[in-house]
Amino acid sequence: MSQQKSAGSSRGSGGRLNLFRSALRGTGVDPARDPVGRAILFLAVPMVLEMVMESIFAVVDIFFVSRLGARSVAAVGLTESFLTLVYTVAGGLSIGVTAMVARRMGERNPDGAADAAVQALAIGIVFALLFGAIGFVGAPRLLAVMGAEPAVIETGSGYARVMLSGSGIILLLFLINAAFRGAGDAAIAMRVLWLANGINLVLDPCLIFGLGPFPAMGVTGAAVATNIGRGTAVAIQLITLLRLDGRLQVRAQHLKLHAAVMARLVRLSATGTLQIFIGTASWIGLIRILSGFGSEALAGYTIAIRVVLFALLPAWGLANAAATMVGQSLGARDPARAEQAVWMAGKMNLVFLGSIGIFFMIAAPLVVAPFGGDGLTGLYAMRGLRIISSGFFFYAYGMVLTQSFNGAGATWTPTILNLFCFWLWEIPLAWGLSHHTALRTDGVFLSVTIAFSTIAVVSAILFRRGRWKLSVV
């Protein structure tokens, strides 16, 4: 009997290894029709690995920039607050294109999927030109609006100008990867993001500190390295779309505007953009509140948030896998499969993110130290990290449920939730706790934990009601 158990364990281990290999290759599994657990892992493995590299990217810049001092770190944090508006449009369009591509693929309509991807790119290019022009001309003024001290503006204007001018690259990178994920081609999305961030990893120290033949550009060098890495990845994405050997194939006949498809995409994406805008703009509000406590508080918050993102981004991989499963399952007219996938992905995320949250709370000083976390800046970073990560158990389910609504095309549900939980709950709470209690900056951090935990609980209640199953995409 023990031999049978051993053989079964071996077969199980071999099966998991084969599934892992298939996920990295992006072949061998149909997300809409294979067993739910197998399909989730097939999508989640490359999506999580994709987000792992994005997590590394989120901390690499701050790791090197922190060597330049609190002013440079503060400049990065303030610029990121404006880039969240770019991420808002990119994320909103990504919600629409993922939902449409996944639904069309579930319906076995690859031409419809390719058409949706092209329409999304056309809309994205328009926004890219607009954001790039505003960023190039107004970078110093934008930093001043956010309450930056004159020394921070002087240090960070070059970084802000380069990053904001390159916002079009961010948009294209997000949109094309969203289309790949909706089609179930998560492995391709993973590879291009690894390429982008691998280039950034190499170029960051070279351009910041002037290693070898490279000029010492300071904090501006971090922005140049980022844009070179992401720009290279976008070129590879476009080549892959036109190569015609993947699940998502763009041919010559798809390269034109279709008003009906664009209208549906705009409807979904507009709601998705509003949803993300409400959420991301609330971060700007938090930074504005924290800027009143000085550069050290702002730098500490920036370090803490970058570390939190290091954990949250891989968790978004599982959430994105659930969204693709929901979209393709509804396209195949199997809502029960969609619901099963969401709860299974939520449990996986709970184990993953909850474990990291416990580690962050215990080892905050060790985690913060490599990013210049000493003195007052380090104290703010440690307290922020511990308070925010205490809510990771709630975030795990909240992330999966929110993305699942989006994957179904029920984008209004998380949009309304974001409005109430962030603007009518989190921001007033942050202001009140930081200005009218002894918590001070801890009150801002605590408001983040409370708001995200609230979203998780309410999302679970709404998801069980099942109205998302009736959404039309």
Would you state the pLDDT for residue 4?
42
CB atoms within 10 A of CB 269: 27
| Tens of pLDDT, residues 143-170 | 887 777 788 888 778 888 888 888 888 8
Tokens of 182: 């909706």
Alpha carbon 430 to chain centroid, angstroms: 23
Contacts of 319 (CB under 8 A, 6+ apart): 345, 349, 399, 400, 402, 403, 404
CA distance readout (Å), 237 to 196, 216, 231, 232: 11, 31, 10, 9
CB atoms within 10 A of CB 307: 27
Tokens of 410: 């029920």
Would you state the pLDDT for residue 441?
86
What is the average per-residue pLDDT within 88-105?
87
CB atoms within 10 A of CB 253: 9
pLDDT class for 15, splitting at 50, 70, 90?
A: low
Q: Is the pLDDT of residue 192 over 50?
A: yes
User: In whole numbers, what is the pLDDT of the chain averaged over residues?
Assistant: 84
Would you state the pLDDT for residue 278?
83
From 26, 418, 330, 12, select the one nearest 187 (Cα to Cα). 26
pLDDT class for 373, splitting at 50, 70, 90?
A: low
Contacts of 235 (CB under 8 A, 6+ apart): none
CA separation for the pair 153, 159 (Å, rounded): 10
Amino acid at 89: V
CB 409 within 8 A of CB 472: yes
Would you state the pLDDT for residue 58?
63
Would you state the pLDDT for residue 415?
92
Contacts of 337 (CB under 8 A, 6+ apart): 36, 325, 329
CA separation for the pair 209, 221 (Å, rounded): 8
| Tens of pLDDT, residues 69-88 | 878 888 887 887 778 778 77
Domain boundaries, the chain: 33-470
What is the DSSP secondary-structure string of 252-293?
GGGSS--HHHHHHHHHHHHHHHHHHHHHHHHHHHHHHHHHTT
pLDDT class for 14, splitting at 50, 70, 90?
A: low
Q: Is the pLDDT of residue 22 over 80?
A: no
CA separation for the pair 349, 41 (Å, rounded): 12
Please give the share of the chain, as a percent, with pLDDT higher than 70.
94
More confident residue, 328 or 7: 328
| Tens of pLDDT, residues 217-270 | 988 898 899 899 999 999 998 888 887 667 788 888 888 888 888 888 888 888
| Tens of pLDDT, residues 385-434 | 999 999 898 999 999 999 999 999 898 999 999 899 988 899 999 999 98
Q: Is the pLDDT of residue 334 over 70?
A: yes
Q: Is the pLDDT of residue 210 over 80?
A: yes
More confident residue, 212 or 461: 461
Residue for token pair 């199953």 = 469
Q: Is the pLDDT of residue 13 over 80?
A: no
CA separation for the pair 364, 367 (Å, rounded): 5
Classify residue 374 by its DSSP letter: -
More confident residue, 68 or 25: 68
Would you state the pLDDT for residue 12?
52
CB atoms within 10 A of CB 436: 9
What is the average per-residue pLDDT within 176-195?
86
Q: Is the pLDDT of residue 206 over 90?
A: yes
Would you state the pLDDT for residue 2?
42
- C-alpha dihedral (429, 433, 434, 436), degrees to nearest 10: 120
Contacts of 2 (CB under 8 A, 6+ apart): none
CB atoms within 10 A of CB 54: 19
| Tens of pLDDT, residues 341-357 | 999 999 999 998 999 99
| Tens of pLDDT, residues 39-64 | 888 888 888 887 777 667 666 777 88
Would you state the pLDDT for residue 360?
92
More confident residue, 470 or 283: 470
Q: Is the pLDDT of residue 127 over 90?
A: no
Q: Is the pLDDT of residue 9 over 70?
A: no
CA separation for the pair 305, 309 (Å, rounded): 6
Say which range, 7-11, 287-291, 340-344, has the weakest mean pLDDT: 7-11
CB 99 within 8 A of CB 234: no
Please give the share of the chain, as a percent, with pLDDT higher than 90.
20
Q: Is the pLDDT of residue 212 over 90?
A: no
